[in-house]
């Protein structure tokens, strides 16, 4: 996120735009959270405070142990 403008930049903004364009007349809302630490993100996911992490490391063992699905980010 650009600290001066507050706008999303980089790959995340491109992904959100792509996902929005794929839905046609449906509505897609994102409540984007910012974390400074990867472990903090994982804990938020485990606590069900967030639904997904972009981009999460692809650790199949971690995903299987926690019941998560790893999807293609594009």
Tens of pLDDT, residues 6-51: 776 676 677 777 777 777 777 767 787 888 887 898 899 889 998 8
Does pTM surpass 0.75? Answer: no
CB 16 within 8 A of CB 34: no
56: Cβ–Cβ under 8 A, 6 or more apart, which residues? 41, 70
* Cα(41)–Cα(43) distance, integer angstroms: 5
Q: How far is CA 72 from the centre of its chain?
A: 12
Residue 5: pLDDT over 70: yes
């Amino acid at each position: 996120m650009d600290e001066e403008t507050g706008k999303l930049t980089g790959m995340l903004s491109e992904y959100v735009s792509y996902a929005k364009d794929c839905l046609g007349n449906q509505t897609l809302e994102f409540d984007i959270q910012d974390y400074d630490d990867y472990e903090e993100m994982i804990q938020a996911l485990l606590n069900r405070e967030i639904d997904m992490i972009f981009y999460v490391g692809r650790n199949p063992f971690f995903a299987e142990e926690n019941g998560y699905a790893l999807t293609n980010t594009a």
